């Protein structure tokens, strides 16, 4: 046999080999022979040897047999002990191992295994001789405990040639090699398995001890008794409301729970944190309400701003009151059962045991119960790769009988691995609880949106101004639409219509119909995919107009532009204070009040003579114009503004664009929609315009690379496959979510997604909020809607033949392509300019109406009727 063949572990049996009945027969046979050999050895008596044997003590030997297996057993045991000594006991144990392998194990008994038995017996007997162990010679072992083999090989040969140390090293190595051949396992793996079993046993014992202590504490809390200090090693650490740990808290014990606990110095038990319990309804009874806080800020903002700075929207909504939190309801108390500590500890012990069965040793960590999932933390031992734990997700799910699990290896910011299992009973996260949280009320977010609570019970409030755009994706029924409604509701409860405007695109028609009469709308709710492209183009145009205004005013972004009036007012107040302080000094110097008033009047007249940009385009059509002398002009007397002049408002509202289903839009005009969204996401942040895109079809042709590159903030709900999860998050994980609001949130600048439970807002709450807003005013649309043509835009942008300025620019590009190619067709414009079919056909119709090309003749190119050169 070659050395390579001997070193290989016994291979696993094939399917036919395992199903063969001869395996059971041989297995039972091996076990029977092992029992016979063991009984013969343990009951061996030299007097049982027959008189004809050289091992007989006398001629009368063998007349009475004392061996359990009779004369045959006496002969076998006598000769085995004479030849192998006490190493003969290895033979029945080896036969037992072979029998078990035949019956139950997947390891095949090979010739290498038999060779390993022989090596173990010879090296074991020789070791007894070299170490002088059990070498006394008596009637039971005539040649000593090492037998004839051990005496010759160990004492006569190896001990004289290699010495005691060298012989011991050689024989020990041979013995371990024989063990490796017999078992097919490396000795180190055997040691690791033993350690894992010991760790599992300790963990189960610790869990039972903790359960007993918990039951004792629960019983003590109901039975009156004295306060008995707990031994120092078992003193329970409790947390008070301020978060400080107290280690000297006595435990109440009574007659029924008076237990003597042994003094043990063990590591502290894992903490069990229950963050699924919602805050009580009256926790914020002594704090100001959300509407009151934001109303004060809004009143200060209007008071500090100059007269008319918020335009006619401020005039229309000057008495607007933010919705009260009373319109949002708390969930009904369904009598939720308290957290079962024993069940959580039992599941954690099962996880530790399952990992130990694969040779992975871990220590139990904290247990955190969230609204939808429970996170079990385990701490790997030093030198263990966490990737080994992450690859066992299916095996852990089988051991815990969980439908889906998620493994965080490791938990960000910790040295533990998190194993997340879905709760059998979920806890609702009401939106009202998040809106009344201090993080939302008193936070520094400019556009706060309430998203949900993470597994540790921490409120997740996103800032849309920092994001600055958001991608929401998930399968049908996973909670995507509820998340969109929570975001809209958060903004409605925070901003008035003159501070924030919505543009809602809803190809599914039914999702956004509740907001049709919301006064925050800048456009009617768009349900036609063809009009959606026009709405996005209007947003792009508004963004460009805002940047032109910023450039003219010397402002870099939206916040700087809106706060410039406050800065100017502060400077004016400082100048006025300086003038008032200088007035008494001027009087003393001989200047009377009349001369001062005349000087101020002259200065005011000079300031009024400076030409200013006219404010036009207000919602109600009012004009506010002066000529060089300061005389008010009417509509007929107003000079026409120059073409390069831009109307400059005093303040601008935020604009939030919500696209509820991107897949439908991408089917209509994918190239145009992608370009419009890319321009908004790339440039609109500093203009105060933010985009929220949602889809239930997370495919690569819907969420393209251009769109993903400009929307780093994402929310993923449950999806059907890891491929869909990679499209949304660029990593897997969303396929392991449990649905109904369970989501992964990638915050702005965050490297790892945060698992959380989304907030819930019902349809009744949405209707109540919208009715409160509608009662204070109707929506004021910023553009005109042409229902006949399905277009958004101003009349000034349309030419005589109904062609907009944007279409005119595209038309010039089409003419250049036709001039170069000497032909005109819809497919040519689609291919060269990357236009959709609808837009390319529209360009062909315009060219035909203007007499540039002739009518269509089937599949032939259009005839060019004018000279293009």
Does 43 belong to an annotated binding site?
A: no
Distance of alpha carbon 727 from alpha carbon 334, whole angstroms: 39
Please say whether the beta carbons of 617 and 545 come within 8 A.
no
Residue 219, pLDDT score: 64
Does 725 belong to an annotated binding site?
A: no
Distance of alpha carbon 157 from alpha carbon 146, whole angstroms: 14
Residue 231, pLDDT score: 41
Q: DSSP class of residue 249?
A: -
Residue 620, pLDDT score: 38
CA angle 491, 497, 500 (to 5 degrees): 55
Does 144 belong to an annotated binding site?
A: no
- Which contiguous run of DSSP H or E holds residue 414? none
614: which residues sit within 8 A by CB, 6+ positions away?
Answer: 623, 624, 625, 638, 641, 645, 647
Distance of alpha carbon 6 from alpha carbon 116, whole angstroms: 9
Highest mean pLDDT among 214-228, 392-406, 479-493: 479-493
Q: 179 in helix, strand or coil?
A: helix
Burial code of 764-794, b = ≥16 C-beta within 10 A, e = fewer? ebbebbbebbeebbebbebbebeeeeebbbe
Residue 579, pLDDT score: 63
437-474 pLDDT, tens digit per residue, is 888 888 888 999 999 998 888 899 999 999 999 999 99
Which residue from 23, 25, 186, 3 is spatially nearest to 109, judged by alpha carbons? 23
* Averaged confidence pLDDT in the chain: 76
Residue 253, pLDDT score: 41
Say which residue, 535 or 564, is predicted with more confidence: 535
Distance of alpha carbon 54 from alpha carbon 60, whole angstroms: 13
Does 474 belong to an annotated binding site?
A: yes
The pLDDT of 167-185, averaged and rounded, is: 84
Question: What is the β-pairing status of strands 373-380 and 417-422?
Answer: antiparallel
Which tokens hold the place of 284? 């914020």
Q: DSSP class of residue 749?
A: T
Place of tokens 């247990």: 367
Q: 357 in helix, strand or coil?
A: coil
Please say whether the beta carbons of 792 and 538 come within 8 A.
yes
Task: Look at residue 191 and tell me whether its pLDDT is greater than 70.
Answer: yes
pLDDT band of residue 184 (cuts 50, 70, 90) is: confident
Distance of alpha carbon 493 from alpha carbon 159, whole angstroms: 92
**What residues does 380 pair with on adjacent strands?**
362
Which residue from 511, 501, 432 is spatially nearest to 652, judged by alpha carbons? 501
Strand order in the sheet with 405-408: 272-274, 362-369, 373-380, 417-422, 405-408
The pLDDT of 632-656, averaged and rounded, is: 61
623-634 pLDDT, tens digit per residue, is 343 443 444 334
Does 479 belong to an annotated binding site?
A: yes
Residues in the chain, total: 869
- Which contiguous run of DSSP H or E holds residue 501? strand 500-505
Question: What is the β-pairing status of strands 448-454 and 459-463?
Answer: antiparallel
The pLDDT of 704-708, averaged and rounded, is: 88
Task: Look at residue 412 and tell me whether its pLDDT is greater than 60.
Answer: yes
Q: 864 in helix, strand or coil?
A: strand
Residue 657, pLDDT score: 95
Please say whether the beta carbons of 614 and 624 come within 8 A.
yes
Please say whether the beta carbons of 399 and 353 come within 8 A.
yes
Cβ atoms within 10 A of the Cβ of 822, count? 10
Task: Look at residue 562 and tell me whether its pLDDT is greater than 50.
Answer: yes
Q: 617 in helix, strand or coil?
A: coil
Residue 610, pLDDT score: 42
Least confident of 39-53, 71-85, 852-866: 39-53
Which tokens hold the place of 633? 């002009």
Could you give the C-alpha distances from 487 to 484, 491, 553, 698, in angstroms and in order?
A: 5, 6, 32, 21
Please say whether the beta carbons of 374 and 423 come within 8 A.
yes
Residue 73, pLDDT score: 84
Least confident of 17-31, 292-306, 384-398, 825-839: 292-306
Residue 224, pLDDT score: 43
Give the residue ranges of DSSP H helices in 516-669.
529-553, 558-562, 564-588, 593-609, 662-668
To the question of pTM greater than 0.85 for the whole model, the response is no
Percent of the chain with pLDDT over 90: 16
Could you give the C-alpha distances from 141 to 50, 127, 138, in angstroms and in order?
A: 16, 16, 5
Which tokens hold the place of 179? 């063990």
Could you give the C-alpha distances from 112 to 9, 170, 517, in angstroms and in order?
A: 9, 20, 85
The pLDDT of 488-509, averaged and rounded, is: 91
Burial class (CB in 10 A: 0-12, 13-18, 19+), 690: buried
Say which residue, 338 or 527, is predicted with more confidence: 527
Place of tokens 């009617």: 524
Phi first, then psi: give them for residue 275, nearest 5 degrees.
-105, 10
Q: Which fold has domain 798-869?
A: Arc Repressor Mutant, subunit A (1.10.10)
Least confident of 225-229, 483-487, 713-717: 225-229
81: which residues sit within 8 A by CB, 6+ positions away?
Answer: 41, 44, 88, 140, 141, 147
Does 476 belong to an annotated binding site?
A: yes
Q: DSSP class of residue 87?
A: G
CA angle 153, 155, 157 (to 5 degrees): 50
Cβ atoms within 10 A of the Cβ of 221, count? 13
Residue 568, pLDDT score: 64
Distance of alpha carbon 701 from alpha carbon 703, whole angstroms: 6
pLDDT band of residue 79 (cuts 50, 70, 90) is: confident
Cβ atoms within 10 A of the Cβ of 119, count? 21
**Neighbouring C-alpha atoms within 13 Å toward the C-beta of 237:** 12
Does 418 belong to an annotated binding site?
A: no
Which residue from 719, 206, 687 is spatially nearest to 465, judged by alpha carbons? 687
| DSSP character string of 791-849 | EEE-GGGB-TTS-BHHHHHHHHHHHHHHHHHT-B-HHHHHHHH---HHHHHHHHHHHHH
Distance of alpha carbon 530 from alpha carbon 521, whole angstroms: 19
Which residue from 340, 342, 363 is spatially nearest to 351, judged by alpha carbons? 363
Task: Look at residue 163 and tell me whether its pLDDT is greater than 80.
Answer: yes
Residue 455, pLDDT score: 86
Phi first, then psi: give them for residue 664, nearest 5 degrees.
-65, -35
771-783 pLDDT, tens digit per residue, is 999 998 888 886 5
The pLDDT of 478-501, averaged and rounded, is: 92
pLDDT band of residue 137 (cuts 50, 70, 90) is: low
Residue 624, pLDDT score: 41
Cα dihedral sign for 165, 171, 174, 179? negative
Does 354 belong to an annotated binding site?
A: no
Map out the domains of the chain as residue ranges. Answer: 3-185, 559-603, 798-869
Phi first, then psi: give them for residue 841, nearest 5 degrees.
-65, -35
203-262 pLDDT, tens digit per residue, is 778 777 777 776 777 666 544 443 344 444 334 444 443 344 344 444 444 434 344 444
511-526 pLDDT, tens digit per residue, is 888 899 999 998 899 9
Residue 102, pLDDT score: 80
Distance of alpha carbon 175 from alpha carbon 90, whole angstroms: 12
The pLDDT of 706-712, averaged and rounded, is: 89
Percent of the chain with pLDDT over 70: 70
Distance of alpha carbon 339 from alpha carbon 345, whole angstroms: 11
């Amino acid at each position: 046999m070659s050395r390579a063949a001997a070193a290989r572990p016994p291979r696993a049996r094939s399917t036919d080999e395992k199903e063969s009945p001869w395996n059971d027969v041989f297995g039972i046979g091996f076990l029977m022979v092992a029992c016979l050999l063991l009984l013969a050895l343990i009951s061996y008596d030299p007097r049982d040897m027959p008189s004809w044997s050289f091992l007989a003590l006398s001629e009368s030997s063998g007349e009475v047999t004392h061996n359990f297996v009779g004369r045959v057993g006496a002969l076998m045991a006598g000769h085995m002990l004479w030849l192998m000594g006490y190493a003969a006991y290895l033979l029945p144990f080896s036969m037992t191992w072979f029998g078990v392998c035949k019956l139950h194990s997947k390891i095949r008994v090979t010739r290498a295994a038999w060779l390993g038995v022989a090596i173990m017996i010879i090296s074991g007997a020789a070791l007894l001789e070299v170490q002088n162990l059990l070498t006394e010679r008596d009637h039971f072992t005539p040649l000593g405990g090492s037998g004839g083999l051990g005496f010759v090989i160990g004492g006569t040969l190896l001990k004289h040639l290699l010495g005691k140390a060298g012989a011991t090293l050689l024989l020990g190595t041979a013995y371990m090699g024989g063990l490796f051949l017999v078992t097919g396992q490396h000795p180190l793996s055997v040691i690791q398995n033993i350690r894992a079993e010991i760790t599992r046993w300790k963990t189960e014992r610790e869990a039972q001890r903790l359960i007993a202590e918990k039951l004792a504490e629960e019983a003590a809390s109901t039975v009156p008794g004295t306060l008995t200090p707990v031994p120092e090693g078992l003193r329970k650490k409790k947390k008070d409301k301020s978060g400080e740990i107290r280690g000297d808290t006595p435990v109440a014990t009574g007659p029924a729970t008076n237990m003597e606990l042994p003094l043990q110095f063990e590591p502290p038990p894992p903490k069990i944190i229950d963050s699924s319990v919602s805050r009580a309804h009256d926790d914020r009874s002594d704090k100001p309400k959300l509407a009151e806080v934001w109303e004060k800020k809004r009143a200060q903002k209007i008071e500090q701003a100059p007269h008319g700075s918020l335009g006619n929207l401020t005039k229309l909504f000057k008495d607007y009151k933010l919705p009260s939190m009373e319109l949002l309801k708390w969930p009904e108390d369904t009598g939720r059962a308290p957290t079962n500590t024993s069940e959580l500890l039992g599941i954690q012990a099962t996880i530790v045991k399952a990992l130990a069965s694969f040779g992975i040793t871990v220590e139990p960590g904290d247990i955190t119960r969230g609204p939808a999932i429970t996170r079990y933390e385990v701490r790997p031992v030093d030198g263990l790769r966490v990737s080994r734990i992450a690859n066992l997700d299916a095996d852990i799910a089988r051991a815990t009988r969980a439908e889906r699990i998620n493994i965080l290896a490791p938990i960000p910011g910790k040295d533990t691995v998190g194993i997340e299992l879905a709760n059998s009973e979920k806890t609702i996260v009401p939106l009202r609880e998040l809106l009344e949280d201090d993080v939302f009320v008193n936070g520094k977010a400019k556009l706060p949106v309430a998203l949900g609570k993470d597994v540790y019970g921490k409120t997740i409030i996103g800032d849309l101004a920092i994001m600055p755009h958001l991608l929401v994706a998930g399968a049908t029924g996973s909670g995507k639409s509820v998340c969109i409604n929570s975001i809209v509701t958060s903004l409605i409860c925070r901003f008035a219509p003159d501070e924030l405007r919505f543009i809602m695109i809803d190809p599914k028609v039914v999702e956004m119909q509740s907001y049709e009469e919301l006064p925050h709308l800048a456009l009617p709710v768009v349900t036609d995919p063809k009009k959606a492209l026009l709405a996005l183009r209007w947003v792009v145009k508004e963004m460009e107009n805002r940047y032109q205004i910023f450039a003219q005013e010397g402002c870099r972004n939206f916040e700087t532009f809106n706060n410039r009036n406050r800065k100017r007012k502060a400077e004016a107040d400082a100048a006025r204070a300086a003038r008032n302080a200088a007035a008494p000094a001027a009087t003393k110097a001989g200047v009377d009040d009349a001369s001062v008033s005349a000087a101020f009047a002259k200065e005011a007249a000079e300031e009024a003579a400076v030409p200013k940009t006219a404010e036009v385009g207000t919602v109600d059509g009012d004009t506010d114009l002066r000529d060089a002398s300061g005389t008010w002009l009417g509509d007929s007397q107003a000079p026409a503004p120059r073409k390069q002049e831009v109307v400059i408002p005093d303040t601008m509202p935020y604009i939030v664009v919500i696209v509820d289903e991107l897949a439908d839009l991408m089917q209509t005009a994918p190239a145009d929609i992608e370009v419009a969204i890319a321009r908004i996401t790339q440039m609109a942040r500093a203009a105060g315009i933010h985009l929220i895109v949602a889809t239930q079809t997370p495919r690569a042709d819907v969420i393209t690379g251009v769109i993903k590159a400009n929307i780093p903030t994402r929310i993923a709900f449950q999806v059907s496959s890891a491929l869909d999860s990679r499209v949304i998050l660029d990593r897997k994980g969303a396929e392991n979510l449990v649905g109904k609001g369970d989501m992964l949130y990638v915050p702005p600048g965050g490297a790892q997604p945060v698992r959380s439970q989304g907030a819930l807002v019902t349809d009744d709450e949405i209707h109540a909020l919208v009715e409160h807003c509608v009662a204070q005013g109707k929506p004021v649309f910023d553009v005109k809607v042409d229902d006949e043509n399905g277009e958004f835009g101003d009349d000034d942008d349309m030419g005589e033949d109904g062609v907009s300025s944007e279409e005119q620019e595209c038309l010039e590009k089409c003419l250049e392509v036709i001039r170069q190619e000497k032909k005109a067709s819809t497919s040519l414009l689609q291919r060269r300019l990357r236009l959709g079919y609808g837009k390319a056909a529209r360009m062909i119709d315009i060219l035909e109406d203007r007499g540039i090309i002739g009518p269509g003749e089937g599949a032939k190119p259009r005839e060019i009727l004018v000279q293009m050169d």
